[in-house]
């Protein structure tokens, strides 16, 4: 390969393909427009000035576009993070909040480096489906307040925005339908002088770029003790939401992302955001869906431009952006919620085929997320439920069958299945200690020992036979099982 050809291969898609470039630029613009009211709303939740949320969205998107592990995913100020750090801001002020954001970034880098991203493999598909459906419901319900106590003109504008996004793609997909909808509704309301709630009503947009500075806090152990719990909670919630969103984008785009790089990247982005006075953030499912699913973006350029356009729109075109009717952005988010929801998962045909346990896990995840407005709680609740159901199901697969030799002097117990805390508890009761002959063989060639509970159960079986003057021989252990048994046998105090 020639140096020129090699260089062409290193070029990003958007540099060599005008169509991709156009898609990425327009996608970034649509996302930037959708980010503005969201960032302002999350600032209100956290109890800070709107500029704090807007600066966070700008720095998070720009930094993660370079250091993140999932292309085309949008990171910015989020409601989940705002909920976690709001109490800290209310009690101690903005300085402590900013310090907590920086410390949260440090925690995320450490967690990423030690491999927390690998825990994603333990999140079952039913939890993922529940997570996606709950997010769609949250995105939708977050728009409902924007339709209460508003002028009547809001409703036809909302309906018109939805109609444009449904039917405009049938004409052309060159320009994203959400962008067309936002522009047309803004022109109509301004030209006709229709008085409806606008982006400007949410709060004042910043008029200059953020300046880096140190958080205004005393650098003492007392400050560290105050911010550490909030920072750690923020780090966990941010990573969980970001990694779940990355996995979702992987599935949508049929591509792979580097979850460890994403974890560390989130930490770097939050540290930078903190030094620029932002409220921190993580991956945003709604804006990511606008970028990837609605607008068709696939590269880092769209993520970078979402942050860059956000600041350009606020600083250079503040008065114009302030005139955008909230009805236009609400229509966009409603479309996002419908596109995000996994409708196949609740189809009667799917529900008939799906095991009851899987449906239960999905429902528990959805209910927990919607009830608490906390994605992390829902994912943890769903995952724990799935593990309990799995453990119960696997525990019943451990079986014991006995065969007595024709001479009547030996009995062979063949154990089949996985031996762990849930299945080994029943193991001890499946042997005839009084009626068995002098020699007992426990054949484990079709079983596997997973934990100390199983070794303790085998020790208890041997002890019960020895009390009756009988010998026990354990055979057929595979190498890992034998190693665990040799290491722990006789060292554990049995409760039997």
pTM over 0.85? The answer is: no
**Low-confidence spans in the chain with pLDDT less than 70:** 1-16, 492-496
**Residue located via tokens 């333990």:** 122
Q: Tell me, what's the pLDDT at 476?
A: 94
**Residue located via tokens 């995320």:** 108
Helical residues (DSSP H) of 281-347, grouped into ranges: 285-289, 300-315, 318-322, 326-340
Q: Tell me, what's the pLDDT at 37?
A: 82
Q: What is the 3-state secondary structure (H, E, C) of 455-483?
A: HHHHHHHHHHHHCCCCEEEEECCCHHHHH
| Beta strands across the sheet bearing 410-419 | 399-404, 410-419, 439-449, 471-475
List all residues 6 or more positions away from 488 whose beta carbon is below 8 Å from its beta carbon.
452, 455, 456
- Taking the CA of residue 98 as centre, how many other CA atoms within 13 Å lie in the half-sphere pointing to its CB? 24
Q: Using one digit for the tens of pLDDT, what is the confidence trace for 379-436?
A: 889 999 998 988 888 777 778 999 888 877 899 999 998 898 888 878 888 999 999 9
* Dist CA 354 CA 251 (whole Å): 20
Tell me whether residue 396 is exposed, middle or buried, using C-beta atoms within 10 angstroms of its C-beta: 0 to 12, 13 to 18, 19 or more: exposed
* Dist CA 356 CA 269 (whole Å): 41
Contact 275, 130 (CB under 8 A): no
Q: Using one digit for the tens of pLDDT, what is the confidence trace for 58-91?
A: 999 999 999 999 999 999 998 878 878 888 999 9
Sign of CA dihedral 342, 345, 346, 348: positive
**What Å distances lie between residue 236 and 163, 375, 381, CA to CA?**
39, 11, 15
């Amino acid at each position: 390969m020639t140096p020129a050809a090699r260089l062409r291969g290193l070029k990003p898609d958007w540099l060599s393909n005008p169509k991709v470039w156009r898609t990425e630029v327009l996608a970034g613009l649509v996302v930037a427009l959708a980010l503005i009211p969201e960032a302002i709303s999350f600032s209100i939740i956290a109890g800070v000035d709107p500029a704090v949320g807007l600066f966070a969205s700008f720095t998070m998107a720009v930094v993660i576009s370079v250091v993140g592990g999932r292309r085309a995913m949008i990171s910015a100020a989020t409601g989940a993070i705002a909920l976690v750090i709001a109490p800290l801001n209310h009690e101690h002020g903005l300085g402590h909040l900013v310090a907590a954001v920086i410390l949260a970034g440090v925690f995320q880098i450490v967690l990423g480096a030690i491999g927390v991203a690998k825990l994603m493999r333990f999140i079952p598909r039913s939890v993922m489906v529940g997570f996606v459906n709950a997010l769609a419901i949250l995105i939708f319900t977050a728009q409902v307040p924007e339709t209460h106590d508003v002028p009547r003109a809001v409703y036809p504008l909302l309906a018109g925005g939805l109609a444009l996004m449904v039917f405009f793609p049938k004409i052309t997909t060159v320009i994203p339908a959400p962008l067309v909808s936002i522009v047309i509704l803004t022109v109509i309301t301004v030209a006709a002088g229709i008085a409806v709630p606008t982006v400007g009503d949410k709060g004042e947009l910043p008029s200059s770029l953020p300046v880096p500075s140190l958080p205004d806090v005393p650098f003492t152990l007392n400050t560290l003790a105050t911010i550490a719990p909030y920072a750690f909670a923020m780090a966990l919630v941010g990573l969980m939401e970001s990694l779940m969103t990355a996995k979702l984008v992987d599935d949508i785009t049929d591509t792979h992302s580097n979850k460890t790089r994403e974890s560390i990247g989130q930490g770097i982005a939050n540290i930078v955001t903190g030094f620029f006075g932002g409220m921190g953030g993580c991956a945003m499912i709604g804006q990511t869906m606008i970028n990837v699913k609605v607008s068709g973006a696939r590269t880092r350029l769209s993520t970078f431009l979402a942050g860059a356009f956000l600041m350009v729109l606020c600083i250079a075109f503040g008065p114009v952006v302030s005139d955008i009717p909230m009805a236009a952005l609400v229509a966009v988010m409603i479309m996002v919620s419908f596109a995000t929801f996994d409708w196949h998962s609740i189809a009667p045909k799917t529900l008939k085929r799906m095991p009851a346990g899987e449906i239960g896990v999905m429902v528990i995840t959805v209910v927990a997320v919607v009830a608490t407005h906390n994605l992390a709680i829902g994912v943890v609740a769903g995952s724990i439920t799935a593990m309990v159901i799995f453990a119960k199901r696997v525990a019943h697969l451990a079986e014991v069958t006995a065969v007595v030799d024709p001479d009547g002097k030996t009995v062979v117990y063949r154990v089949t299945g996985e031996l762990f805390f849930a299945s080994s508890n029943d193991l001890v009761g499946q042997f005839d200690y009084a009626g068995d002959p002098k020699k007992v063989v426990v054949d484990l060639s079709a079983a596997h020992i997973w934990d100390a509970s199983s070794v303790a159960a085998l020790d208890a079986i041997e002890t019960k036979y020895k009390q009756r003057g009988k010998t026990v021989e354990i055979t057929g252990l595979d190498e890992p099982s034998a190693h665990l048994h040799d290491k722990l046998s006789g060292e554990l105090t049995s409760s039997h």
